[in-house]
């Protein structure tokens, strides 16, 4: 079974600065997807960024980028120019890419999350 | 971002009562998921539903839980006899058809409190 580990329960950053959130995972599969979701106080789960394991290029979405190290099974999230609205819980998640009947391998496995505080 | 809707947003119930949580996933897609998040903890997979059948369920999804798609669009999670430990946020998720990676988009959740 796959596991996802977020070793930083809490992180803080000054507004306009850069912060990196860590995520490692364990899998025996070669093809999979990795995600970062943001959960603000409203508790809505919002997709931040996605990475396909077969792609060597790191995904980028505006101020959000990842450092994907497949051999090390590491998937960190970098937030540049941090804004007050970035304050939230951030969850790293894993999803298999293996095709089987019923899509049962498509479930997401989440880490425990990192609570990010942005200081003005 | 594609929209998944859930009702109710909040539900308070007495222990032992039945609750039904509803989800309207992204239209024309066959895959649906329910997840649970106990306050302060990580999001956990409950069940996946494909082509009107359960395709996988976790150890959390015991006999008191059931899922249905009663009218071809709405997707329900029923808890037959609620326990105090069922208090949690329940999320429905649905992938967007046609996108690679089958990214799952989450509904806003239903906050269930069992007294």
- The token duo for A107 is 């479930």
Mutate to test the interface with A, among B55, B60, B96 (most CBs of A within 10 A): B55
Residues in contact with B71: Cβ distance below 8 Å, sequence separation at least 6, in sequence order: none
Domain boundaries, chain B: 5-114
- The token duo for B18 is 């039945």
pLDDT at B25: 77
pLDDT at A101: 47
Give bridge partners of residue A38 from the DSSP assignment: A46, A90
DSSP symbols for A44-65: --EEEEEEETT--SPPEETTEE
Could you give the number of structural domains in chain A? Answer: 1
Of A43, A47, A107, the CB nearest to B103: A47
pLDDT in tens, chain A (120 residues): 789 999 999 999 999 999 999 999 999 888 899 999 999 998 999 999 999 998 889 999 999 999 999 999 999 999 999 999 999 999 999 998 776 544 556 889 999 999 999 999
**C-alpha distance from B41 to closest chain A C-alpha (Å):** 6
Eight-state DSSP code of residue A76: E
CATH number where A39 lies: 2.60.40.10
- Find out whether B115 and B87 touch, Cβ atoms under 8 Å: no
pLDDT at B82: 96
pLDDT at B26: 73
- Correct CATH for B5-114 of 3.30.230.10, 2.60.40.10, 2.60.40.1120, 2.30.40.10: 2.60.40.10
Region of residue A113 (phi > 0: left; psi between -120 and 50: alpha; otherwise: beta): left
């Amino acid at each position: 079974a796959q596991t996802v580990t977020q070793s930083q329960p809490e992180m803080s950053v000054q507004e306009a600065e850069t912060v990196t959130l860590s995520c490692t995972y364990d899998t025996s599969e070669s093809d999979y997807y990795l995600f970062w979701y943001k959960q603000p106080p409203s508790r809505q789960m919002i997709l931040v960024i996605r990475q396909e394991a077969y792609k060597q290029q790191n995904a980028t979405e505006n101020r959000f980028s990842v450092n994907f190290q497949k051999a090390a099974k590491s998937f960190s999230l970098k937030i540049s120019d941090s804004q007050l609205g970035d304050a939230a819980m951030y969850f790293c998640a894993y999803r298999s890419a293996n095709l089987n009947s019923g899509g049962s391998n498509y479930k997401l496995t989440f880490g425990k999350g990192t609570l990010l505080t942005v200081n003005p | 971002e594609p929209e998944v809707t859930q009702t109710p947003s909040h539900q308070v119930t007495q222990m032992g009562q039945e609750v039904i949580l509803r989800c309207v996933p992204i239209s024309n897609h066959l895959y649906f998921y329910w997840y649970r998040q106990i306050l302060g903890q990580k999001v956990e997979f409950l069940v996946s539903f494909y082509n009107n059948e359960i395709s996988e369920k976790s150890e959390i999804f015991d006999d008191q839980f059931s899922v249905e798609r009663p009218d071809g669009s709405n997707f329900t999670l029923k808890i037959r006899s609620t326990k105090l430990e069922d208090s949690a946020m329940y999320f429905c998720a649905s992938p967007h058809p046609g996108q690679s990676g089958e990214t799952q988009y989450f509904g806003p959740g239903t906050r269930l409190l069992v007294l």
